[in-house]
Amino acid sequence: MQIPIEYYLVLSAFMFTVGIVGVLTRRNAIVVFMCIELMLNSANLTLITYSSYLGDVAGQLFVFFVMSVAAAEAAVGLAIIIAIYRNKLTVNIDEINILKW
Amino acid sequence: MTLEIVLFIVFASICAVSAVLMITRPNPVISALFLVLNFCSLAGLYLILNAQFIAVAQVIVYAGAIMVFFLFVIMLLNPETEKRFFEQKAKLRIFIIAIVSLILVQIVYMIFISNPSEVITKEVARSVETGTVENIGREMFTNYVLPFEAAGYLLLAATIGALVLAKKKFE
């Protein structure tokens, strides 16, 4: 007996919603960033699941490109966080409101 | 119960529990370590799905490189520990969790009502064939060579951008 595809999809949906809750509730910018990584990984899990069940390599290649984009995004995002911390001495996103009018 | 199902249950429960623990711990270092655990168990799930190359890349790139980078920045900035999860703005947080769990219920309902396992059945031999490094490499350097080069340029641009942003002064 093989594992039904629904199990993987439900796990992926659960991880995605946990990531959304983290982004909306946490106030530390770095933790918000890590929650975004969690959401990216749940999407990757769905892509790999379909790629494996359909026998199509495109999904796995897409996951590879998502990984490289995530690495680039993490580098730039953390550099921005360091720059903000240097100016405001905080990474609490409630206090970083210079773009708020 | 075959070994595949046992392994799936173990890795999936580690994955779900570590995700929840990650967003509820007040200390960011502990959150990052739970995220590493989550990524490692995801690599195990990828191995069950016969995606060997992506599983190895997951451990090296995500659990290795990106999370070490996050930990470096956390240690560098030394941000203050947040309050416990439900202590500040408890009503807002409960409201957010209610809305998001409603969305989760909708997604799960849609997954089960569309019943994908009736139309999609896994052919094990073909699935194993798909995930090998040989197959992925052949596809990547023939049909997908342009996105591959673009990813290289993206990483170069991100490196330069990160250096410029994190520099002391713009001069």
Q: What is the pLDDT of residue B98?
A: 93
- Range ranked top by mean pLDDT from B80-84, B129-133, B137-141: B137-141
Kindly report the backbone phi and psi dihedral angles of residue B168, in degrees, each rounded to the nearest multiple of 5, phi listed first: -65, -50
Tell me the pLDDT band of B169, cut-offs 50, 70 and 90. Answer: low
Contact A8 B79 (CB under 8 A): no
pLDDT in tens, B12-28: 999 999 999 999 888 88
Tell me which DSSP letter residue A89 carries: S
Q: What is the pLDDT of residue B82?
A: 67
Write the ipTM: 0.92
Q: Using CB atoms within 10 A of its CB, is residue B156 exposed (0-12), middle (13-18) or buried (19+)?
A: exposed
Asked whether B100 and A17 are in contact (CB, 8 A), the reply is yes
Q: What is the pLDDT of residue A86?
A: 86
SS3 call for B77: helix
Q: What is the pLDDT of residue A94?
A: 81
- Range ranked top by mean pLDDT from A23-27, A61-65, B26-30, B116-120: A61-65
Structure tokens at B55: 């599983």
Per CB-CB distance under 8 Å, the chain A contacts of B127 are 52-53, 55
> Which of A7, A60, A86 is the best residue to mutate to test the B interface, defined by the most B CB atoms within 10 Å of its own CB?
A60
List the one residue out of A6, A41, A29 whose CA is nearest residue A83: A29
Tell me the pLDDT band of A44, cut-offs 50, 70 and 90. Answer: very high
List the one residue out of B37, B43, B46 whose CA is nearest residue B16: B37
How many residue contacts between A and B have a Cβ separation below 8 Å? Answer: 220
Query: Which are the contacts of A27, defined by CB distance < 8 A and separation ≥ 6?
Result: A92, A93, A94, B82
Per CB-CB distance under 8 Å, the chain B contacts of A69 are 151, 154
Per CB-CB distance under 8 Å, the chain B contacts of A80 are 165
List the one residue out of A76, A79, A70, A74 whose CA is nearest residue A42: A70
CA-CA distance, A43 to A66, in Å (whole number)?
Answer: 9
- Measured between CA atoms, the residue of chain B closest to residue A80 is B165
Contact A53 B73 (CB under 8 A): no
List the one residue out of B124, B121, B108, B117 whose CA is nearest residue B48: B124
CA-CA distance, B100 to B119, in Å (whole number)?
Answer: 29
- In angstroms, the separation between the Cα of residue A97 and the nearest Cα of chain B is 18
